Amino acid sequence: MTRLMATVLAFFLSLLLVPSASAEDLNSPPRPLPVKKTPFPKPLETTLKNGLQILLIQSHKVPHIAFRMAIRSGRAMDPALSEMTADLLLEGTSRQKGEEIAEAVESVGGALSVSVENDAVFIVGHFLNEHSDLAISLLRDVLENPVFPEEELVKLKKRTLSLLASKRSKPDFLAEERFLKSIYGDHPYSIASPSPESVEKVDREAVVRFHSTYFRPNNSILVVVGDFQPTVILSKLRKAFGTWKKAPIPSRAMQPPPLQAHRRIFLVDRPGSVQTALHLGSLTIPRSHPDFVPLRVAMQILGGSSSARLFVNLRERKSYTYGAYSSMTSFRDGGHYKADAEVRTEVTEGALKEFLKELAEMREATVTPSELSHAKAYLSGSFPLSLETALDICRLVLIQKLNGLPGDYWQSYRNRILGVTVADVQRAARKYITPNGLTIVAVGDGKKIEGILSQFGPLEVYDTSGKAVKSVGPGSTEKY
């Protein structure tokens, strides 16, 4: 026997000695790797005499600076006005036109944008470190000196109305609109998007007034992350924003969300739909609540990924949908959870039954140690990915400040996730996944699914414009 043949034979014999993987091994996900420490930087924080809060974080990874300015009066104050004001900030100031602002940003390879959420308006930018003076100058100019050109407002209103019309053709938007309205009632968080009527009413005078009222230093937080010397950048910020005038910030009286005593079912009739968009959920808690992390883990187990219960059941076992998920949304003054999927019309009843079954099991039965381990590993392991860029860090710092969270919130976040127990998950699920407080919204062909939905309880029917059409009370057909 040659040496080569002996080597080949020894190799194949060694394969026979290797234990084969069992079916259980092949079907089970690998065990999570040990969690590595990912320190969250502690900001240097100061407040100017005019009330502007400034938080600085040094990062020498790349030679640039990033900033995120939050004005703590967002869509909840006035959906249409807040969005219109924000969208017009970059369309010109008393010093330069909108085109000149865009050219100044693009000429140095920077970025400057504005966005609106329920609790704040955000102005976001990043620039190479050598252009930090330009970045600060532009931020100050669009904050303090916007002129809100009338012609740009007219164009914006036309674009907005066109976009709203387009949204109404999308089942997911219609489902989200009805879902938020049903769980939040008259609270401002109930509004998924401004109405065409509210957009039409906006004029330049109202935009100027909104800006003058809320865009004040004592209503703002600025986070800057980048490659700088804190004393140098702080000196520049004091010079730029120290003369920004503060003013009293009026508060808005907000009706608390309604307490829901029984299951509510809504149909948005969309004739001809070949699918049914389903949204199920209820009110929960703001991020500042002690139960936030245990409930976040529970939502991960329920439907946070393609290995979670909802996906495995409705997609892999039943083939009802391409994906079924659950999520949590938290605002400064409240929050909600939602489970959702788009299913074939003919399996609407079966899908709803499975959703209700999974929600009941999440509430009544304890999760397995394996489910808990993998949910915690995913949430704690994915957290470092949210720290990849300077803008990511700016965003997290503002979440902490806007929600009134402890100063070490992000430093201890992963440890709090890893400390969640099976008992914590079940306690949170029983407390917040309540069958009596459940809202169910379905968007689909009413002729085909109205009778199905009425089996689950009293039904309210709306058209795609948001207008109430009829109510269908419980009857002999109610089964679930």
432/285 Cα distance (integer angstroms): 9
Whether residue 209 is found in the same domain as residue 297: no
Give the pLDDT band of residue 13 (cuts 50, 70, 90). very low
Assess contact for 37 and 202: CB atoms under 8 A: no
86/147 Cα distance (integer angstroms): 12
How high is the pLDDT of residue 31?
61
Long-range contacts of residues 405-411, Cβ cutoff 8 Å, at least 24 apart: 405/287, 405/288, 407/42, 410/40, 411/39, 411/40, 411/42
Which range marks the domain in which residue 403 is found?
Answer: 264-472
390 within some domain? yes
- How many helices (H) and strands (E) are present in the chain, helices listed first? 18, 13
Whether residue 300 is found in the same domain as residue 425: yes
Give residue-wise pLDDT tens across range 107-142: 999 999 999 999 999 999 999 999 999 999 999 999
Whether residue 89 is found in the same domain as residue 138: yes
- List, in order, residues 6 or more apart from 13 with CB less than 8 Å away: none
Give the pLDDT band of residue 226 (cuts 50, 70, 90). very high
Give the pLDDT band of residue 254 (cuts 50, 70, 90). confident
Examine the pLDDT at 283 and tell me if it is beyond 70: yes
Whether residue 229 is found in the same domain as residue 286: no
Q: For the chain, what is the domain count?
A: 2
Average pLDDT of the residues in 13-30: 48
- List, in order, residues 6 or more apart from 316 with CB less than 8 Å away: none
49 within some domain? yes
Assess contact for 73 and 247: CB atoms under 8 A: no
37 within some domain? no
CATH number for 105: 3.30.830.10
How high is the pLDDT of residue 256?
81
R_g of the chain computed on alpha carbons: 27
Examine the pLDDT at 39 and tell me if it is beyond 90: no
Give residue-wise pLDDT tens across range 66-94: 999 999 999 999 999 999 999 999 999 99
8 within some domain? no
How high is the pLDDT of residue 23?
46
How high is the pLDDT of residue 203?
97
* Continuous segment of H or E residues that includes residue 326: strand 321-331
* Continuous segment of H or E residues that includes residue 472: strand 468-472
Whether residue 272 is found in the same domain as residue 380: yes
- Residue whose pair of structure tokens reads 């009802």 in the numeric block: 320
Give the pLDDT band of residue 252 (cuts 50, 70, 90). confident
Whether residue 189 is found in the same domain as residue 310: no
Give residue-wise pLDDT tens across range 196-223: 999 999 999 999 999 999 999 999 999 9
Give residue-wise pLDDT tens across range 163-199: 999 999 999 999 999 999 999 999 999 999 999 999 9
Whether residue 290 is found in the same domain as residue 418: yes
Question: What is 277-301 written as a DSSP string?
Answer: EEEEEEE---TTSTTHHHHHHHHHH
Average pLDDT of the residues in 344-358: 97
95/110 Cα distance (integer angstroms): 20
Whether residue 274 is found in the same domain as residue 232: no
Whether residue 95 is found in the same domain as residue 134: yes
Domain-ending residue, one of 241, 272, 303: 241
Whether residue 292 is found in the same domain as residue 415: yes
Q: How many CA atoms lie within 13 A of 377 on its CB side?
A: 13
167-193 b/e with 16+ CB inside 10 Å = b? eeeebebbbbbbbbbbbbbebbbbbbb
Give the pLDDT band of residue 435 (cuts 50, 70, 90). confident
Whether residue 272 is found in the same domain as residue 420: yes
How high is the pLDDT of residue 473?
73
Assess contact for 77 and 245: CB atoms under 8 A: no
Whether residue 268 is found in the same domain as residue 308: yes
456 within some domain? yes
Q: Where in 7-128 does DSSP place strands (E)?
A: 44-47, 53-58, 64-71, 111-116, 121-128
What does the mean pLDDT of the chain come to? 91
